[in-house]
Amino acid sequence: MTTSSQQYVETLLALYRCLPDTPPRHSRYDRHLAVQLWRQKVPLPLIESTFLLATARRLLRDPAYPPLNPIRSLHYFIPILEEVLDQPPSPTYLQFLRHKLAALKPSVNLPPLNLP
């Protein structure tokens, strides 16, 4: 793997691990999927949007519903990524979700990607 691919994979996996309800360590399957996403040239900002949207959906759901199981794999996010690829959310909406999540649970603060 090249330096750029390693940086992409490590950034993606670090973002994944900092999400609520995800394991503290990634699996080799998660790493393999991250490499596949790099090969498919999926931009990291779209991955970040996917994580933000999925986190908001999980945490902002009706508390009367039964709790969701923890996320065990990066593969959990693939259907949401496909949705984001088809129709990317607006930057305004993503900022709204960030503020909503920060107000709900300050520990859920996905750092914005500082990509060149």
For the four alpha carbons of 25, 7, 108 and 80, in that order, the dihedral sign comes to negative
Q: What is the pTM of this model?
A: 0.87
Q: Distance (Å, rounded) from C-alpha 64 to C-alpha 52? A: 22
> Could you read off the pLDDT of 55-96 as tens digits, one per residue?
999 999 999 999 999 999 999 999 999 999 999 999 999 999
- Residue extents of the structural domains in the chain: 3-104
Confidence band for 2, pLDDT divided at 50, 70 and 90:
confident
> Could you read off the pLDDT of 5-25 as tens digits, one per residue?
999 999 999 999 989 899 999
Q: Distance (Å, rounded) from C-alpha 41 to C-alpha 34? A: 11
The contacts found for 43-47 with CB under 8 angstroms, 24 or more apart, are 44/8, 44/11, 44/12, 44/113, 44/115, 45/113, 45/115, 46/81, 46/84, 46/85, 46/88, 47/12, 47/15, 47/81
Q: Cβ of 44: how many Cβ atoms within 10 Å? A: 16
